[in-house]
Chains A and B, each alone.
Chain A
Amino acid sequence: MNRTITVRPGLRDIPQGRLGMWLLIAGELVIFGAAVVSYLLMRIRYPEWGEQAQYTSTALGALNTFVLLTSSFFVVKAHKASLAKDSKNVVRFLSLTLLCGLIFLIVKGIEYSTEISHGFTLRSPGLVDSGQGVASLFWMYYYLMTGLHGLHVLAGMIAIFVVMLQVRKGKYFHRVELAGMYWHMVDLIWIFLFPLLYILK
C-alpha cells in the first residue's frame, strides 16, 4: 500500500473507466479552452474590459476557489476511503463535497444577483444604450464561462450524488474515483477562470 510506483503502467493496464474519463476530460478541456482562448483574444483587443472586471468580486471569487479546492480534497479523501471499501467514510466525504458544491453555487448566485442588480446581465441593455457595447461583451463572456462552468458543477454534483447512493449500498466503489476525476476537472477549470475573470482588473 505504501510502496511508491516506479514503473509506469502499460497502455492496456489503464482501467477502462479511468481511460474513458481521461478522454472525456480532454474533450471538455478543449471546449472550455476554446471559450477561454476567444475570451483572451478579446481581452487583449479591448483593454477597456479591465474597468468592467472591477465589478467582479475578488473576495467571492477567492472564496469560491477555496471552496472548490477543499471539495477536491474531500473527493480525493473519499477515493482513498473507497479503496478500503469503507462505505461510511466515502459517503461522509462525498456529502462534504456535495456541500462544498452547494456553497459554490450559492456564492455564485449571490455574485450573479449583485451583478444583475448593477445592470450587468447577459445583454446588459444599459451598457449598450449608453454606447458601451464593447463593455457589454465582457459580461457576455463572463456569464458564458461562469455559466458553463456552473452547469458542469451541477453535473458533477449529480454524478457524485448518484455514486454516493450506489456506494451506500456497497456497490461500485471504483466509481468514486471516476466521479472524483470529473470533479477535479471542474476544479481545474475554475483555477483558470478565477484569475481570468476576477483577479486581472
Chain B
Amino acid sequence: MNIAHHEMSFWRRYIFSTDHKVIGFQYLITGLIMAAIGGYLAYVFRYNLAFPAESIPLFGSLGPKEYNAFITSHGAIMIFWVAMPLLLAALGNLLIPTMIGTDDMAFPTLNMLSYWFFFLSAIVLLLSFFVPSGPFDGGWTLYPPLSADAYINTEPDIWKSFMTGGTLIILALALEFVSMLMGGINFLVTTINKRAKGMTLLKMPIVVWFINFAVIDFMFSVGPIIAGAFMLLLDRVAGTGFFDAYRGGDPVLFQHMFWFFGHPEVYVLLFPSLGVIAEVISTFSRKALFGYKFIIKASLIAIVLSVVVWAHHQFIAGIDPRMATFFSIGTILISIPFAGIMLSYIATLWGGNIQLKVPMMWALGFIAIFLVGGLTGLYLGSDTFDIYVHDTSFVVAHFHYTLFPITFFGFFAAFYYWFPKFTGRMYNTVLAKIHFWFTFIFFQGFAFPIFFLGLDGQHRRINDYSAFDSLMSSWHISFRQFATISAIILILSQFIFLFNLLKSLRSGKKSEENPWKANTLEWQTTSPPPHGNFVKYPQVYRDPYDYGNPDMKEDYLPQNKVI
C-alpha cells in the first residue's frame, strides 16, 4: 500500500510536498509564526494603551495612527492568518485523512496549491508593514470610506495605490479566501469520497464532522466578501465608486458584504475547535460522547441560522430598525444549539472516569472561558444593549473571551492531544501544565478588566485617554495597566510552550502508538503515521466513542478492532 517516495528530493518532500501531513505541518508552522507576529503587535499596543507617555521596550514610541494600524493588523492576523490555518487548515489536513482511514487528500496537488496561496497571502500582508504609508489603519473590518481611500479615487495611480497598506490587506484577504476555498473543497470531497471501509457518516468522529461543517459554512458565506473585496480593490485601484456615496454607492453595502461572511466566520473557527474538545473530553472521561446525533443536528441548525444573523454587527450603521430586531432575535436563537452542544459536553463529563491529563485541562479551560464569551454574546446580540456598548472595550473583551479559547485553547488541546501521534514523541507534561495555568489565569487577568472599562465607555480605537477625564480615574488607569501586564505575562508564558515544543521534538521520549487509549482510527497506526498513513487500510466496525464497554477487558474499543 505504501508507495515509495523515498527518492524524492528535499524540495519535493518537504517544501512543495503534496503529502497531507507535511502540508498540515506547513500550515501549523506558518500559523504559529503569524501568531508570534500578532502577539508582538498586541504587546506593543497594549503597552502603549497602559502607559501612553512611555517609550515601549523593544519597539520605541507609538502614535495614534500606528496604534490603529497595529490593532487592525493584530485583528486581521489573528483571525485570518492564525485561527484559520491552525484550526481549519492544519487540523483538517492532519486529522481528516487519518481519522477517516485513508492515505491522503482527494486532490493532493490542489492541497499543495492551497498552502502556497496561503503563504503568498501572508507575505502580501506582511509586505504592508514595509510600504511607505504603513499598514492599513482603518480596523480589520475594512469599512469604507476609510478603506476606499478618497484621495486615490480622484486620480487613480495604479502602482501607488497598490503599494498602500489598504490595498495589500484586501489583496491578502482575497488570496487567503481563495486558498481556504481550495482547501475546504478538498476536505469535503475527501470526507465524502475516501472514507475507510465501514466508516459510515454516523461513525465519523465529531471533529471530522465539525471541520466539514466549518468548510460548508465558509464556502457558502465567503462569496459576498470576495465580491466585496473585488469591488473595494477596484475602488482603490481603478477609481470606481461602488462604496462612494457621492456617486450613488453605499458604504453600508460593504458592511453587509463583510459581515455576511464575518459572522459565519466565527462559527468557521468555532466548529473545528468544538470538535477537538469533543474528542478530548470523550477520551479523557472514558465515556461515550453524550448525544452524538443531537450534536450533529444542533450544528446543522446553527449553520443555517449563522447566515441570517450577520447584521448584529451593524446596529449603529443605520440599518432598518425592524431588521435590527429580527437580527437580535436570530442572534439570541443561535445560542440555543451551541448551548445544547456545550451541555452535551458537560453531560459527557458527568459520571465519567475523568483523567485530568494535559489536553483535558485545555478542554475544560475552553468550556469555562467560552461560556463567559457566549453569555456576554447574549448581551451584545440584543440591539438595545449593543447600541450602548458598540465599539467599546466591552466588545473587545467579549470577542477575546470567545476567540481566544476558540483559537488557542482549542488549538492547544489539539496540539497536546495529537502531538505524540504526529511527531512520535512525548512532551514534558509538567511544563505543559505550567503553560496551561499561566495561559488560563493571565488570560482572565487580561480580558476581564476590559469589560468594566468598556462599560464605562473606553473606545476600541483610542490609545491615549488623557483628554477624557471620566476615563482617567485611578481605577481606570490601574485596570488598564493590570490588563496590560497580564497580557504581557500571557504572551511571555507562550515561550514555555515554544521551549517545550522544541525540546520535545529534539529529545522527547518516544511515544506509544496509542498513549491515551483512544478509539479513533489515527491512534491505530504507528506514531508518526507512515507515508500513506496505514500499512493496511482499516475496516471500521463501530462508533468512535465506545469507551467503558462492560463486556471488554479494557475500557476502550478501537473502531477497527475485530472482536
Q: Give A contacts to B, CB under 8 Å.
A: 11-12, 14, 16, 19-20, 23-24, 26-27, 29-35, 37-38, 41-42, 46, 122-123, 128, 133-137, 140-141, 144, 148
Residue from B181, B226, B242 in contact with A140 in the complex, judged by beta carbons closer than 8 Å:
B242
The main secondary structure of chain B at its interface with chain A is: helix
B194 → chain A closest CB, angstroms: 8
Known: A16-B193, A19-B189, A20-B106. A38 touches B253 (CB 8 A): yes
B322 → chain A closest CB, angstroms: 17
In angstroms, Cα B188 to Cα A53, docked, is 41
Known: A122-B238, A133-B247, A133-B248. A38 touches B227 (CB 8 A): yes
User: Which residues of A are found within 8 Å of B185, using beta-carbon distances?
Assistant: 20, 23-24, 27
A sample of 29 inter-chain contacts (CB < 8 A) reads A11-B192, A11-B201, A16-B106, A16-B107, A20-B107, A20-B185, A23-B185, A24-B185, A26-B219, A27-B219, A29-B223, A30-B220, A30-B221, A31-B223, A32-B223, A34-B226, A34-B228, A34-B260, A35-B227, A35-B231, A38-B227, A123-B156, A123-B238, A128-B247, A133-B246, A136-B241, A137-B242, A137-B247, A144-B234
User: Which residues of A are found within 8 Å of B156, using beta-carbon distances?
Assistant: 123
- Binary CB contact string for chain B from 110 to 129 against chain A (1 if under 8 A, 0 otherwise): 10000000000000000000
The verdict on B239 contacting chain A, using a C-beta distance below 8 Å, is: yes
Asked whether, in the complex, the Cβ of A34 is within 8 Å of the Cβ of B224, the reply is: yes
Q: Give B contacts to A, CB under 8 Å.
A: 106-107, 110, 156, 181, 185-186, 188-189, 192-195, 201, 219-224, 226-228, 230-231, 234, 238-242, 246-250, 253, 257, 260
User: Which residues of A are found within 8 Å of B248, using beta-carbon distances?
Assistant: 42, 46, 133-137
User: Which residues of B are found within 8 Å of A136, using beta-carbon distances?
Assistant: 241, 247-248
9 new A-B contacts at CB < 8 Å, known A11-B192, A16-B106, A41-B253: A12-B193, A16-B189, A20-B186, A31-B224, A32-B223, A34-B228, A38-B257, A123-B238, A144-B242
The main secondary structure of chain A at its interface with chain B is: helix
Known: A20-B106, A122-B238. A31 touches B189 (CB 8 A): no
Asked whether, in the complex, the Cβ of B241 is within 8 Å of the Cβ of A27, the reply is: no
Asked whether, in the complex, the Cβ of B223 is within 8 Å of the Cβ of A30, the reply is: yes
Asked whether, in the complex, the Cβ of A27 is within 8 Å of the Cβ of B181, the reply is: yes
In angstroms, Cα B228 to Cα A16, docked, is 31
Asked whether, in the complex, the Cβ of A34 is within 8 Å of the Cβ of B241, the reply is: no
Chain B residue at smallest Cβ distance from A148:
B230
User: Which residues of B are found within 8 Å of A148, using beta-carbon distances?
Assistant: 230
Known: A133-B248, A136-B241. A23 touches B188 (CB 8 A): yes
Asked whether, in the complex, the Cβ of A34 is within 8 Å of the Cβ of B234, the reply is: no
In angstroms, Cα B241 to Cα A123, docked, is 7
User: Which residues of B are found within 8 Å of A32, using beta-carbon distances?
Assistant: 223, 227
Asked whether, in the complex, the Cβ of A140 is within 8 Å of the Cβ of B257, the reply is: no
Asked whether, in the complex, the Cβ of A34 is within 8 Å of the Cβ of B223, the reply is: yes
A19 → chain B closest CB, angstroms: 5
Asked whether, in the complex, the Cβ of B234 is within 8 Å of the Cβ of A19, the reply is: no
B174 → chain A closest CB, angstroms: 11
User: Which residues of B are found within 8 Å of A38, using beta-carbon distances?
Assistant: 227, 253, 257
Chain A residue at smallest Cβ distance from B239:
A123
User: Which residues of B are found within 8 Å of A33, using beta-carbon distances?
Assistant: 223
Residue from A14, A46, A128, A135 in contact with B193 in the complex, judged by beta carbons closer than 8 Å:
A14
Residue from B220, B226, B230 in contact with A144 in the complex, judged by beta carbons closer than 8 Å:
B230
Asked whether, in the complex, the Cβ of A137 is within 8 Å of the Cβ of B249, the reply is: yes
Asked whether, in the complex, the Cβ of B192 is within 8 Å of the Cβ of A122, the reply is: no
Chain B residue at smallest Cβ distance from A46:
B248
User: Which residues of B are found within 8 Å of A134, using beta-carbon distances?
Assistant: 247-248
Residue from B188, B238, B241 in contact with A133 in the complex, judged by beta carbons closer than 8 Å:
B241
User: Which residues of A are found within 8 Å of B186, using beta-carbon distances?
Assistant: 20
Chain A residue at smallest Cβ distance from B106:
A16
Asked whether, in the complex, the Cβ of B234 is within 8 Å of the Cβ of A122, the reply is: yes
Chain A residue at smallest Cβ distance from B238:
A122
In angstroms, Cα B256 to Cα A37, docked, is 12
User: Which residues of B are found within 8 Å of A37, using beta-carbon distances?
Assistant: 224
Chain B residue at smallest Cβ distance from A36:
B227
Asked whether, in the complex, the Cβ of B241 is within 8 Å of the Cβ of A19, the reply is: no
Chain B residue at smallest Cβ distance from A124:
B247
Known: A133-B248, A136-B247, A136-B248. A30 touches B222 (CB 8 A): yes
In angstroms, Cα B181 to Cα A142, docked, is 26
Asked whether, in the complex, the Cβ of A26 is within 8 Å of the Cβ of B220, the reply is: yes
User: Which residues of A are found within 8 Å of B222, using beta-carbon distances?
Assistant: 27, 30-31
In angstroms, Cα B224 to Cα A38, docked, is 9
Q: Which of B220, B234, B247 has the most CB of A within 10 A?
A: B247
